[in-house]
Chains A and B, each alone.
Chain A
Amino acid sequence: MERAVEAALTAGVAVSGLLLVAGLLLGSTAPLWWGVLLLIVTPVVRVLVVTAGLILEHDWLFAGVSLFVLGVLLSSVYVSGRL
C-alpha cells in the first residue's frame, strides 16, 4: 500500500509542479489554475488509494475510518461549490 500511495503523491506533485512552472514561464493563467487545483486534489486521491488498499487488506475498521475522511473531503467540495 505504501508504494501505491507514494506513486499517487509523486504523480500529483510532479504534474502540478510542471503545470505551475509552465504557467509562470508562459505568463498564462490556465496552467496555474489547473496546477493549484491538482495540488489540492492530490491528497484526496491519496485518501482514495489508502481506502482501496485497506479494503484489499480486509482491514474493515480502518477502511471505514478512511471512508469517513473521504466523506468530509467531499462535503468540503460540496460546500465550496455553494459559497
Chain B
Amino acid sequence: MIAIPTLILIFSGAATGLIGAMLGIGGGVFLVPLLTLVLGVPIRTAIAASLISVIATASASSTINLERGLVNMRLGMTLEVATTLGGLAGGLLAAALSQRQLFLAFGATLALMGVVMALRSGRRNVIAHDAGVEPGRLGGRLREGDQAYVYRVKRLPLAMTASLTAGAISGLLGIGGGVIKVPVLNAFCGIPIRVAAATSAFMIGVTGAASAFLYFGRGDIALHLTSAVAVGALPGSLLGARLSQRVEARSLKILMAVVLLVVGLRMALQAL
C-alpha cells in the first residue's frame, strides 16, 4: 500500500464525519468507498479504520444531540440489544469473506437502502401536534421551533430486525449501520427523521464497539491510518451535528438516498 499523507487522511475523516453526523449514519458508508476507491487502501484495513472513525463520529455527535433532546435513550438501549448481537456476529463473519464478497455486500446494501429512502422521502411520521397525547413507553416528544410534536413507536419487531441486520452489517463492513436503521425507523416505525438519526448515532458507538474489539484483537487496525482518520472525524462530526438542525428534513432524506445509490452502485461495480 502506498503511504498516504496524514493531512489527506485527516481531511477524509473530517469530510465523512461531517456528512455522517448530519445524516446520523456515522459516515462509514462514505469513508470506506473513499479509502478504497480513491486512496487505494485494502478494503479490510479501510473497514477497520472506518469502524473506529464511526465510533468517534457517533460519540462526538451524540454529545450535541443529547443537549438538544433529540436522542430517545430508552428506544436506543432496546434496539442496542439487537445491534450489539449483530455487531458481534458480523465482526466474527468478516474474517471469513473475500475482498470481492465484501465489495459486493457493501454495494448492494447501500443501493437497496437508497431506493427505500427515495421511495418514502415524502412521508411525515409525527402523529400529533398536541403535546398532551401519550407517546407510550418507547415513543417521545419533539420540539421544533414553537411546535411540540408527539410520536409513537410502531412495529417494534421490525425495528429490532433492522437493528440486528444493521449490527451485523456494521461488524462486517465497518459502516455503523445507521444506513439501515435510519431509513427503517423513519419510513416504517413512526420515528421522525431527526430523532431516528440522533438515536441511531447514539447507538452506533455501542454497535461499533461490539465488533471493534474483535478487529483490535485480530490486529486488523492500521494504527497511523486509523488515528489520522479519527482525528479528522471528531471535529467534522461536531460541525455536522450542529449543521443538521439547519437542514430541512426532506432535503436530508433525498440527499441520503442519492448518495447511497451512487456510492452503492460504484462499490458493486468494483467487485464485478
Contacts and interface: CB of A to CB of B under 8 A. Distances in A.
Given A43-B206, A76-B211, A32 B224 contact: yes
Interface string B212-233: 1110111001011011101100
Contacts of B81: 65, 68-69, 72
Contact of A79 (B59, B77, B205, B214): B214
Contact of B59 (A13, A24, A66): A13
Interface residues of A, number: 45
Contacts of A23: 227
Contacts of A82: 217
Contacts of A46: 59, 205-206
Interface string A21-58: 10110000100110111011111101100100010000
A43 B88 contact: no
Nearest to A41: B209
A54 B234 CA distance: 28
Contact of B214 (A33, A37, A76): A76
Contact of A6 (B67, B216, B227): B67
Size bracket, chain B contacts: 35 or more
B174 to A, nearest CB: 13
Contacts of A37: 216
A9 B59 contact: yes
Q: Is the interface of B mostly helix, strand, loop or mixed?
A: helix
Interface in A5-25: 5-6, 9-10, 12-13, 16-17, 20-21, 23-24
Interface stretch (B23-31, B50-58, B106-114, B142-150): B50-58
B227 A24 contact: yes
A54 B78 CA distance: 13
B208 A43 contact: yes
B54 to A, nearest CB: 10
Contact of A13 (B60, B78, B223): B60
A33 B223 contact: yes
Interface of A: 1-2, 5-6, 9-10, 12-13, 16-17, 20-21, 23-24, 29, 32-33, 35-37, 39-44, 46-47, 50, 54, 62, 65-66, 68-69, 72-73, 75-77, 79-83
The 7 A-B residue pairs with the shortest CB-CB distance, nearest first, are: A80-B217, A43-B205, A72-B84, A80-B213, A83-B217, A43-B209, A43-B206
